[in-house]
Structures are given as C-alpha cells and as structure tokens.
Amino acid sequence: MSKTRVVITGLGVVSPIGLDLDTIWSNLTEGRSGIGPIESMPTHSLPVKSAAECKSFSGEIEDYGPLDKVTQRSIKKNMKVMCREIEMGVAAAQKALAHSGLGESRDPERCGCLFGCDYILSRPEEYADGLINCRENSGSDDIAGYVKAWPTLGLPKVNPLWLLKYLPNMPNSHVSIYNDFRGPNNAITVREASMHLSLAEATSIIERGAADVMLVGSTGSRIHPVRATHATLIDRVATEQANPASMSRPFDATCDGMVLGEGAGAVMIESLEHAQARGAKIWGEIVASGSAMSGPRNDRDYMQQATFNSLRVTVERAAERLGKDWHLHAQGLSDPSVDSSEASAISQLFQQLGYQVPVTAAKSYFGNLGAGGAAVELICSLLALDRGSLFPILNLNKPLESVSWQPASAGNKPGRGFVHCSCTMQGQAASIAIVAA
C-alpha cells in the first residue's frame, strides 16, 4: 500500500530565546543564552536563582500572533481559566496556524489537534484566601485545625473554575474549540517525551486518512514555586553561576544538573497532497518515529538502552530518506549521569551505523522546558534546515569521556534532515526523523 506523506507547514513558538523565528535563529547562531535571573517567582527558599524564563511572553493577547476578531475575543474571554503553561501552548499553536497560512476554507471535520503537556501544578496563590480564612476564623492555631475547617471556611474562597486552569488536556481543548477543529483530538502527558509521541500519533492519523490537517504541540514549565522545589529535591539541578548563561553544559565534564525553564512550541502538519493543493511552504517531511521505555529510574544502563532503541528504530525506518547526510539533535539535559548515558547511546548508534553525523543540543541555550522542550528544539532544527547551517552546543569545552562523537560546531551544514530524541527521567524515550522539503 502506498503511504500518505506527511509534511510540516507551520511553526509557532514561545521560548526563552525568542517568540518569533528570526529572533530565535539569531540567538542560536550568535550564541546568546536565554538563561538569567528568575523574575517570576520568589527564590529565597531555592538553591538556584537563575532559570530560562520566557520574559518576552506577557500572556497578553498581542503575544498570540495574528488573530481574527472572533478568535481574539474568545481567547481574551477564556484567559481567566488558563494558567501560564496553557497560555504559552495556546499562543504557540495559534502562531503555527497563522504561519501555515491555512485559511478559513478548511474543512473542520478533517482538522484535528494533538497536544503534549506536563502534569500541571496549581500555584499556591489559588488557595491563599481559603487558608487565610481558616486561620482567622477556625478558632484553631495549628494546621490540623485548618484542614478540618477547610470544607466550610477554605473551599468557598477558592475560585470555582480553578481546576480548568490546570488540567493537562486544556491546551488541546482550547486550541480545538477556538479554531473549530472537529477531527481527531487527544492530549498526551508524558513529560519531556510528550511532543514526539504526539507528533507520531498525529502523523499516523493523517497517514491512515482520518484527517488532512493536525495541529501538534507541547507546553511545559519547571518555573513554578512547587515544581521548582520538587525538581531541586529529586532531580539534579545546575549549580548557580556568576554567569547564568554557563549553567547549562550538555555533555561537558563539568555539567552538574539541568537548568529550569519554560516554553512551548507547535507545528502544523498536513498530508503532502493537501499542502501542495493550497500552495503551502513545506518546512520538512516527517519520515519516521520510534519510542522505547527503560527500566528503573536513573539506572544508567536501562536509560542508555531506551535512548539507543528509540534512535535505532527511528534511523532504521528513515534510512532510505535520511541517507548519511543529517544531524542528530540530542536531549542534552546537562545532568552528568543522564548525559553520559545518552552519549553512550549515541556512540552505540554510530558504531552500528558505521558512520557519524554532527550532534547538537539546543538545551544548552535554554535548559529543560519540560514537555515544551522537544517542540522548541524541533523547531530549532527545522530552522537549521531552512537556513542551511547548524548551531553548536554552548558551553561544551571538555566533553565527557563517553562522548566519542563529533559535536556540531558553528557553520556545520545541517544535512538533508535530522533525528531528534527526547526522554524523561522516568525512562520514556521518543524520537522523530524529519527530512528537508
């Protein structure tokens, strides 16, 4: 059976290194990091004071890209039920839709949406009024008394719509409703692997003829009072540096942990026939995907095998289209154990292939954006294909011993395509292969 070809026709992004494609590319090629002092939350109880914030994203309607008046009104009306992660995701999706040039003549029944997301934590402020009321009117002076009084004194002070602000399926819901996408819809919540799993599912939907168009994205954040505290307790977070731009050091022997970040990205994908019929610019073609699961958390051998298996399957499936001229966009978390494991997996892959390609990692510019990271990184590699040059890994001065391959350097050609891998600390790995149009 002939296979429907699936292409990318629109890009949208909200990132610490820019909200538009030209700014992002400029920062990548000129080595400008998006990591700096945290401004959006208190840091007195955290061991780090710097992160990769989307400081240019205010959440105002102007940040959502070109919108018609009806969509603009709908988004403004619903801002009260969108937390920042959802706002970033919706903004990236609307930008991708506008960038694709898909007009109002689209068939709603043949348009769908798939969106990846982290589990989203409520901010403590949501419960502040309720807790204050319990403290002042419960007649108790300890937390047990406040908890007992919560149903009658605390809960009535919580916004009745608060849960809608934090449900991980809401980015997909908002985007589909605003744009009247009535085709296949889904939300995937697998942390950093969410984007590629969403993209793989959306691609298969188009391949089997269930839709012509799918809007696919992911959004995430590690910059949150509770999540940041959680990360510093269970994950390895980069040590604060005098120069925050040096904190994210993927595959470097001095790397000591990930940098907290936030961001979102989205792409419009279509069947090649549909894209050509409307004269759309094609940014790349999705030619393969692969995923794998590791064993126990933080077990280096298992994580290495999951990363390798994900990459191996993807490259094997894409071999005919990729050839030997492509680049690998690595996860590059900047955690010494995870990076060493990934570097070994990449070496294992190249050994099996019998050749090497340049390796880059955009996390060196903006750290870990959670579920939104893979989407932003994917767009960075698509820009490299379009502009004809590859960006290097920042702060890679002394590679880990397990790095036996050649990191990308400024001016490297991006090749005819790329493979990007993203994985979670729980061991879920997902990869995607894309070739230039």
Tell me: do 156 and 79 sit in the same domain. no
How far is Cα 394 from Cα 361, in angstroms, rounded to an integer? 8
User: Coil, helix or strand for 356?
Assistant: coil
Residue 78 gets the label, from left (phi > 0), alpha (psi -120 to 50) or beta, of alpha
pTM of the entire structure?
0.95
Pairing of β 50-51 and β 36-37: antiparallel
How far is Cα 74 from Cα 71, in angstroms, rounded to an integer? 5
In sequence order, which residues have a C-beta less than 8 Å from that of residue 393 and are 6 or more positions away? 250, 251, 332, 359, 360, 361, 364, 407, 408
Radius of gyration for the chain, computed over Cα atoms and rounded to the nearest angstrom = 22
Q: How many domains are there within the chain? A: 2
User: Coil, helix or strand for 15?
Assistant: strand
| CA distances (Å), origin 316, targets 62, 310, 312, 351 | 43, 10, 6, 14
Specify whether the CB–CB gap between 15 and 54 falls below 8 A.
yes
How far is Cα 138 from Cα 424, in angstroms, rounded to an integer? 43
- 377 in a structural domain: yes
Domain stops at, among 105, 139, 163: 163
- 1 in a structural domain: no
Angle at alpha carbon of residue 370, lines to 368 and 372, rounded to 5°: 105
How far is Cα 403 from Cα 299, in angstroms, rounded to an integer? 19
Tell me: do 229 and 371 sit in the same domain. yes
Tell me: do 21 and 135 sit in the same domain. no
Tell me: do 290 and 388 sit in the same domain. yes
DSSP 324: T
Tell me: do 329 and 409 sit in the same domain. yes
How far is Cα 120 from Cα 181, in angstroms, rounded to an integer? 24
Handedness of CA 370, 282, 22, 30 (dihedral sign): positive
**Chain-centre distance of CA 231, in angstroms?**
17
Tell me: do 50 and 104 sit in the same domain. yes
For residue 87, how many other CB atoms are within 10 A of its CB?
25
Note down the domain range covering 146: 124-163
Profile the chain (437 residues) by mean pLDDT over runs of 10 residues: 86 98 97 96 90 96 95 94 96 98 90 94 89 90 90 92 91 96 95 95 96 97 91 92 97 97 98 96 97 69 87 95 96 94 96 97 97 97 97 96 93 94 90 96
